[in-house]
Amino acid sequence: MSGALDSITSSLISRALDVSVANHQAIAHNIANASTLGYQPLKLNFEEIMAEMQDVLGTVSDAGEAKAALSDISLSFMPGEEGLGVQLDAEMVAMSINTTHYQALLSARSQWTSLMGLAIKGGR
């Protein structure tokens, strides 16, 4: 969606979905490299990035400004704890949590789209 129908909510949900996808990629990469000697797992802190997004949104009032500010938030991967290697059970738990986040975000996007459709139809 773009133009007049674009909103801060839409931008936030889209960016949160991007974060969730990036987190899933990091987890999958960790699992794929679990048996690689010397591999240091990647980490993307979903909650930390969401808190940063919330802080950014507190400073903007325009949807275009919000979209630009949200896209400026870095999705940099950080190495996990050194020396531990990949803990497969912890990665599987992280993947399950991330999948739940992703599904919740998709549900929020669907509900938001339904509300927009209802508003466009005049409540009919």
Is beta strand 42-43 parallel, antiparallel or unpaired with respect to 78-79?
antiparallel
The closest of 27, 61, 49 to 105, measured between CA atoms, is 49
Model-level pTM?
0.77
First to last CA, the chain: 22
Q: Tell me the residue ranges of DSSP E strands in the chain.
A: 42-43, 78-79
Cα(93)–Cα(100) distance, integer angstroms? 11
Q: Which domain range does residue 37 map to?
A: 3-120
Residue-level pLDDT, tens digit, the chain, 124 residues? 444 445 778 888 888 899 999 999 999 999 999 998 888 898 887 778 888 888 888 887 777 787 888 888 888 788 777 667 888 999 999 999 999 999 999 999 999 888 888 888 887 7
What is the tally of structural domains in the chain? 1
